[in-house]
């Protein structure tokens, strides 16, 4: 059973199908502003699922979403999909996830954590 909390905690059993829309906030907590992926180009979103002391770069499960392979809602949010085969062989326990976006502004590349290690 999938449970997504307001504090960005996600609970699910290994081997479950996970699917949810990711709201990317480019504003503040008090004044959220949606980063609409449909209105931007040349972005990449990375998601990693890792053990508590593991670095993002060495995540057990990794995903890369691009304009070409991502499903985007009509509001411009990314649909995060984790198929069962990606988590079915993980050991039981507590894992963390982190989501980063890479985008370009005026020919400069930026990488920002959308959701810090949670």
Tell me: the pLDDT tens digits for 6-60?
A: 777 788 888 999 999 999 999 998 999 999 999 998 999 999 999 999 999 999 9
Mean local confidence (pLDDT), 57-83: 96
Residue 68, Cβ density class (10 Å: 0-12 exposed, 13-18 middle, ≥19 buried): exposed
Residue 69, Cβ density class (10 Å: 0-12 exposed, 13-18 middle, ≥19 buried): exposed
Contact 96, 49 (CB under 8 A): yes
Phi, psi of 43 (to 5 degrees): -110, 155
Q: Rounded mean pLDDT of the chain?
A: 92
């Amino acid at each position: 059973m999938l449970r997504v909390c307001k504090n960005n905690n996600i609970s699910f059993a290994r081997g479950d199908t996970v699917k949810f829309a990711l709201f990317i906030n480019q504003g503040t907590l008090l004044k959220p502003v949606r980063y609409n992926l449909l209105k931007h180009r040349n972005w990449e979103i990375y998601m990693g699922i890792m053990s508590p002391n593991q670095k993002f770069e060495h995540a057990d499960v990794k995903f890369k979403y691009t304009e070409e392979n991502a499903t985007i809602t009509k509001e411009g949010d990314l649909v995060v999909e984790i198929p069962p085969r990606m988590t079915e062989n993980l050991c039981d326990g507590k894992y963390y996830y982190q989501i980063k976006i890479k985008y370009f502004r005026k020919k400069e590349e930026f990488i920002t954590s959308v959701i810090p290690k949670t």
